[in-house]
Structure 1
Amino acid sequence: MVWRVFLQFLYLGCISFGGPAAHIGYFRTVFVERKAWLNEQEFAADLALCQFLPGPSSSQLGYAIACRRGGIAAGVAAFIGFTLPSFLLMVALAVWQLELVQGSLQYGVVSGLKLLAVVVVADAVWGMARQSCRSPLTIAVAVFSAVVLSLAMSPLWQISLMVIAASLMAWRGLPTRHSSLMKVDSIFVACMLVFLLLAAVCALFSGSIFAIFYQAGSLVFGGGHVVLPLLEPLLNGDVSNDQFLLGYAAAQAVPGPMFSFAAYLGAVLHPDAPLYYALVATLAVFTPGFVLLTGIRGIWLQLSARPKVIAAIAGVNAVAVGMLAAAWINPVISSAPHDVIALGLAVVGYIAVRSKRVPILLLVVVFSACGAILFSA
């Protein structure tokens, strides 16, 4: 079971271009619609929890899905599989300092894959909207969230909208006649202690690689697009502006989690042992969110079955639809090609995705080839 989970997420780690919004679309298509590892309600509950926690929401969602399938060991296997391709690519970039030249073949391929991300995220927005926006109130919440976050995509607005929507939906939900006491297991206690202990150690050794990236992973809400600029001031100028921008661009071009940018920075900071420090930085930036998710997950599984919490989850996921729609506008659409040919290719791709008959891997190959032919100098 664990090995099969690893291979499935390794495959996704190789083809999941487009950032966190696209990853949610891939996960829903593969694990809810095609493989039926979990149902829509379970997917919605996991997504809602991951939206509230710091760290990489899409990677945490993959971890939560795998934990439902085969426990924590499967979750760890999913994390390794999904992260490994981007980790290796970012370390290679740091070691060889490859240049991504605009107008080159690489640029054309990346442009084609960005266009595929437009298609995948559009499908995710439509699919999630059909499941999460079934009442006038949830539709209104999703539209309002999309408008607000299109104007200001910040963690503060994201969290505020989710809290307001959850409170509103819980207030309007069915009254709870009787709620049994929640069971707090030893995993929750152990994870909270580990989180606090690591935070204390990082405070004592604040200049270390682990402390810098652990702090970033603890403070970031909203996914990879937020962690990238947050890391720059934490590095205190130890990475040159050119090196930082090169890694920033590459993190948005490679498949898998954008948090793998930490691997690039760790390798650049210590070129004497790039693989080791890339691994330290990567583990540090992912650790806070995964420790919290592991600890809270047991309580969340109990809570997510209660009527008031189900109503609150509906509110959070209506905001998530709006967040996904806002991310589709910027940065997904804004960074993709905009000419008539690109529009036609996107329409054909969307029809193929909606048909559920065309494998994602085939679409990756087709869009990469089209990008190399159409968008290269």
Structure 2
Amino acid sequence: MDPRVRRLHIAREDHFVHSVQGTYPRLCRLSDGSILAGFTSFLPGGQRALTIVRSTDEARTFQSHGEVTRSFNDCDNLFLLELPTKVGAGTSTILAAFRNHDLDRNGAHTYFRITVCRSTDGGRTWSFLSQAFEKPAPFGLWEPFLGMGADGREVQLYFSMEIAMDDQDTMRVHSSDGGATWTTPRRVTGGGEALRDGMVGLAEARDCVRGSGALILVMETTRLGTFSVEAVVSFDDGHTFGRRQVVYEARKGRNAGAPQIAAFADGSVAVVFMTDEDEYGEPKWPRGAKIKAVFGTLMPDGRLLWSPAQVVGDAMCSWPGIMRIADDAAVAVYETSASIRGRILRVGT
């Protein structure tokens, strides 16, 4: 089958429904088969809570489970990762990375952190572990993404760091002691270009001919003035990435951003993102967006082939996440009005 004619079948019914005002949902599969969802809840008085809910029925329903932290400052962008567990070791360790910024009385940022917390009881209770990186204002740190290295021991953390108001780069740190200490940040994307790279997502794919493994990194960027989605590919576990290539560009004057990516069992991938390209009138980005998805195939030379975009969530949806739940299926989750919802994306033709 020609990989270029494959696409996604998107379920019409909601799969994941959580009736709570929250944003920035991200999913994490645990070794016991359950799924954790993390998101930011908004509490009375301007307080935020990084909230954990748990599912034991493949992300169809979720129950209250835990809370990483609360803050009257700027905490958001929660991302979860379970560390590999040795046979017979008993309880597993889960890491939570998030932005954790101080504000002055006028709401201006004064200090920026990417904070890491740890849970050893399945995500019910959490304790502070480390600061992956921190710095004073100006110019911020955003949107951490956690993953494991190919050796199964190194924890890799990617995040977005502002260099100037019109320049933001993707940075990477790694830890060899389970997130307790981190290396000095290394630039992954953005060197030599004044672009706002951000909202990083990564997945392990395989090329469609030889089956060679590769790490695909997707991000939003400002190459067109408005936001669009680009990707880079690494064949050496993220030590180096190849040339940038387009994943999706919205129609002129509109935006496509906030991408996340998941890989299927055959090595193909799906990317979800938000876009305002179907809206009329003056752009109100990031408001008024829909969630769309594209199916991708990696070629042996590092090129990525993408299907046409398909709508996952109608207008007024934002900040999608995605996770594989079967060999040929993933669930995309996103914020919409007063709840967090999701749809199943299944590989088809």
TM-score (norm 1): 0.24
Q: Which has the higher contact order (CA 8 A, sep 6+)?
A: 1
Choose 1 or 2 for highest CA Rg: 1
Larger strand proportion of the pair: 2
TM-score (norm 2): 0.26
